[in-house]
């Protein structure tokens, strides 16, 4: 199963949204969600989008997930390649790691152009669509 996430913030901080989706091995969208997050920074929105994705995967009993996102910061931090200096982001990363317990998850950075559906969903979250 492949999962995609994106967070958006209009203003930094500002009104924020999270978008996430899962696509099965046949390329079909099997789940997607747009969430309004309130006032958040862009990095917080990215983390909360990933958390939304992982919660859904866990609820659906998915054991193996390839996660794709266009946030170099979040992908690099949750895969433990980069140090997390900000305490509030460290807490969000810990939530990601806690949710990942018992799952086989790999994290992959992709360019924004390859993450269009998640981007649309994150903006729908801000707009309340």
Angle at 50 (CA atoms; ends 99, 23), nearest 5 degrees: 100
2-127 — its CATH code?
3.30.420.10
Token pair of 85, please? Answer: 């200096």
pTM (predicted TM-score): 0.96
Cβ contacts of residue 107 below 8 Å, gap of 6+? 67, 69, 75, 78, 79
Alpha carbon distances (Å) from 30 to 5, 35, 40, 86, 97: 14, 17, 28, 34, 24
pLDDT at 129: 62
pLDDT at 70: 97
State the pairing for strand pair 14-23/29-40.
antiparallel
pLDDT at 128: 86
**pLDDT tens by residue, the chain, 129 residues:** 999 999 999 998 999 999 999 999 999 999 999 999 999 999 999 999 999 999 999 999 999 999 999 999 999 999 999 999 999 999 999 999 999 999 999 999 999 999 999 999 999 999 986
Token pair of 6, please? Answer: 């994106």
- How many C-beta neighbours within 10 Å does residue 74 have? 27
């Amino acid at each position: 199963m492949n999962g995609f996430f994106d967070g958006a913030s209009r203003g930094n901080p500002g009104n924020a949204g999270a978008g996430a989706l899962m696509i099965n091995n046949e390329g079909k969208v099997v789940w997607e969600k747009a969430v309004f997050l309130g006032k958040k920074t862009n990095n917080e929105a990215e983390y909360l989008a990933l958390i939304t994705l992982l919660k859904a995967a866990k609820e659906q009993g998915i054991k193996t997930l390839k996660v794709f996102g266009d946030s170099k910061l979040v992908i690099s931090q949750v895969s433990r390649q980069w140090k997390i200096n900000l305490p509030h982001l460290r807490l969000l990363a810990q939530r990601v790691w806690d949710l990942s317990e018992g799952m086989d998850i790999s994290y992959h950075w992709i360019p924004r152009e390859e993450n269009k559906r998640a981007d649309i969903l994150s903006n729908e979250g801000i707009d309340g669509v």
